Chains A and B, each alone.
Chain A
Amino acid sequence: MGVIQQIKLLIIGESGAGKSSILLRFIDDSFSHSFITTIGIDFKIKTVEIDGKLIKLQIWDTAGQERFRNITNAYYRGAMGIFIVYDVTDRKSFESLNEWKRNVEKLSTKDVTVILIGNKCDMESDRKISIEEGRAKANEFNCNFFETSSKNNIGIEEAFLTMAKDIYYRTKASEEDAIQLKKENVITLSNEKSTKTSGCC
């Protein structure tokens, strides 16, 4: 039975949308006002449990500015799930979503799971993007949608778990299919699936 040891996730979105804060909240359950810009790329690891199975999430946090695109672009391919983050108080970050989506389509594997995240939803007074508008965008992208707040810890764990489960079940299903296929064709290959290495760290 194929157990996924590791799921690679990627967080993308405009600079200042709060990508690193989301990650910090999910990993360390903390929030820092004094956040410095992400330079290059960073990753953190957290283990979650789904259906009694331990799954290691390796989450890559990227720098938002286009200067770093050619570095971060290299990380799309290995990602099984991608969070596209915008800032609900910043219309520009919302307007750039199409471009991010195009990037995903161009650079990542076809069956990648995408989740749209509208961050900073605690700042109601500064809100520029309504939750409906966000939902509509998610429909357009045909993906899940969450409004989150790293500051008040809203929606973040939920978003990550939804992502992890989606990938877990999808991969499990396709592996079962593959096993089924193998049985039918009576091909005995050396257990290729279990050679998945644990990757970084």
Chain B
Amino acid sequence: MLRASKSSSSTNSLCGDSPLDRKKKLLASPQRPAWNSSTSKHQLNSKIPYKLQKSQTIEQTKVIKKAPGKVPTTPKCTNQTNKYFLNIDIPKEAVREENLISSIKTSQSHEELKKIPIKYYGGDQNFTRLPVTPKRRVFSLASSSVSSHSTTFSPLNCLNSCNTASEQIIFASFSNPVPSATSLVLAQKYESVLTKRNLSDRELKDSLKIIRKMILQDGIPTLLMEKENMAVCTLRGKIWKILLGVYKVNAKEYTDLVEKKESENFDKIKNDCFRTLKTDKNFLFKVDFDMISRVLNAFVWKTKNQPVSRLINLKYSYVQGMNVLAAPFLYVMPELDAFYSFTNFIQSNCPLYVQPALEGVHCGLKLLDKCLKVVDLELYKYLKNKKLNASIYAFPSIMTFSACTSPLSEVLKIWDFLLAYGFHLNILCVISQLILIRDKILVSDSPMKILRTLPDLNAKLILRVTLNLIPQLSEDLYDMLVRHLFDPMIYDVIINDSKE
């Protein structure tokens, strides 16, 4: 079921890299230019973007810069080049490889979409179950001293965060006489991968690969007791931390940051926090607004004192919308874990999205238009005729990685997928949402009425459509998608391109 031979040849050994690892490698590339606002575009262009396969890379960049009007022609890269040049083909390959569903024409209606066999996102009865490996480590139940409310931060939370699913299963079965058997089995399966002792890099990568695949196939179950207990890191939280590369948290550091009191941005933070996901009852029940403001305030302090990296000159502070990005983390894990996950997420997954001028978001919106044009020309033209482009209707969805659309429970499922395969795929998820309501849009005189509040998310359906969009995009477009989250060079290419 892993189709090991094929995947290892096409994606090399990087398949199992966590997103952070991939990113680290990218940032570690010594010839990556420092990016700061004082550097002129011209200077930027003349620099070599990445080390490796030098001749080819420079050549490629030239092509891109010279002909911004055309889709830049990326030469077919060898495994070696791929590995370093973009460092991002992994998610694509992984998804493509798994995407066996024959690509459907997007002009098919909603009804027809429903008929697509759900092969790789849930539902496939015939897929071979993973052999459940015996558990190597089980944490002592003693560590689950559960405090009933974690609205006030306690360093104890971090102790609780390492509970295993097995404990939660026990709790779940206590609290509900008829626990859902499938989610328990699934949780156990995840747990066995999470607790597996990996003896080599290779094994670690394979484990991560298994987790990614499981997320795509089965999703992550929500255990019953997780819904009520706020002090315990949910199974989902644990998986997210692994995918983000948050392997340790430092309670001392966090409490110190919290004790620093109000940062310069605290007024703004406070002004936004109490308006976070106010429509989601589960969220309001589980997450206190003070938690969000503490996490964001600590984030401001932490990044303020951070030396600006000499490799990539990005400044971080609070920007509006961060409250929505922090919310899912606080919902699935204790505050301390959420702080580190959020920080990692911002800095390694979407650094350009949180810059003051929103470079990443603007690129994302332009790319959304571009991708929509490719996958559904009719819809694209219709919206264009109504003078609607992504920067008007999709701004919130892009900037918050769909977290602004209700309900949160479905957002989490989409984030599972994004964390596993890359946040650039959010753009395709937004397009999928459009495609799912395209019939309505196409007959509407003022589509903005429909698009202002997108219908409630249905993660299963959205991901199914998303998987079908991927093969329709050209390599170059996909490259841009992946890079727009963190590569300042791509900004000029995309913005110039769209001007013409």
Interface, chain A (partner B; CB < 8 A)? 15-16, 34-37, 39-45, 63, 65, 67-68, 70-71, 92, 199-201
Bound complex: CA of A27 vs CA of B275, how far in Å?
21
Instruction: Kindly list the 8 A-B residue pairs having the minimum CB-CB distance in the complex, ordered from nearest.
Output: A40-B395, A201-B446, A34-B278, A39-B396, A65-B320, A200-B387, A16-B271, A67-B319
Q: Answer whether A63 and B275 are a contact pair too, CB < 8 Å, given A40-B399, A70-B357.
A: no
Known contacts A40-B396, A200-B386, A201-B448; A65/B268 CB under 8 A: yes
Q: In the complex, which residues of chain B have a beta carbon less than 8 angstroms from the beta carbon of A34?
A: 278-279
Q: Does B321 contact A (CB under 8 A)?
A: yes
Chain A residues, Cβ within 8 Å of B319: 65, 67
Q: In whole angstroms, how far apart are the Cα atoms of A161 and B384 in the complex?
A: 31
Nearest-neighbor residue (CB-CB) of B358 within chain A: A67
Which of A15, A43, A63, A71 is close to B391, meaning CB atoms less than 8 Å apart?
A71
* Distance of A87 Cα from B183 Cα, bound (Å): 49
- Picked from B272, B279, B391, B445, the residue with its CB within 8 Å of the CB of A40 is B391
What is the bound-complex CA distance between A62 and B121, given in angstroms? 38
Give Cα distance in the complex from A34 to B276, angstroms: 9
A-B residue pairs in contact (CB < 8 Å), sample of 14: A15-B268, A15-B271, A34-B278, A35-B278, A36-B278, A37-B320, A39-B399, A43-B392, A43-B448, A63-B320, A65-B268, A200-B387, A201-B387, A201-B446
B271 contacts A67, C-beta separation under 8 Å: no
Q: Are B388 and A200 in contact (CB under 8 A)?
A: yes
Mask for B389-422, Cβ within 8 A of A = 1, else 0?
0011001100110001000000000000000000
Bound Cα distance A200, B385 (Å): 8
Select from chain B the residue with minimum beta-carbon distance to A74: B391
Interface residues of B in 252-311 (CB under 8 A from A): 267-268, 271-272, 275-279
In the complex, B155 has a CB within 8 A of chain A:
no
> Which residues of the other chain, A, contact B396 by a CB distance below 8 angstroms?
39-40
User: Apart from A36-B276, A65-B320, A200-B446, what 11 extra A-B contacts exist at CB < 8 Å?
Assistant: A15-B271, A15-B272, A15-B320, A16-B271, A34-B279, A40-B392, A42-B452, A43-B392, A43-B448, A71-B395, A201-B388
- Interface residue B356 (Cβ < 8 Å from any Cβ of A): yes
Q: A67-B356, A67-B358 are contacts. A36–B279 as well, Cβ < 8 Å?
A: yes
Please tell me if the beta carbons of B268 and A36 are within 8 angstroms of each other in the complex: no
Of all chain A residues, which has the CB nearest B399? A39
Q: Is the CB of B271 within 8 A of A36?
A: no
**Given the complex of chains A and B, what is the CA–CA distance between A196 and B275 in angstroms?**
39
Chain B residues, CB < 8 A from A71:
358, 391, 395
Q: Which of B446-497 contact A (CB under 8 A)?
A: 446-449, 452
Cα A19 to Cα B452 in complex, Å, equals 16
A70 / chain B contacts, CB cutoff of 8 Å:
357-358
B381 to chain A, nearest CB (A): 15
Q: For residue A92, which residues in chain B have a CB less than 8 angstroms away from its CB? A: 267
Which residues of B lie under 8 Å from residue A37 when comparing CB positions? 272, 275, 320-321, 323
Q: Which residue of A lies closest to B268 (CB)?
A: A65
Q: A63-B320, A201-B448 are in contact. Are A36 and B404 (CB under 8 A)?
A: yes
> Given the complex, which residues of A lie within 8 Å of B278, measured CB to CB?
34-36
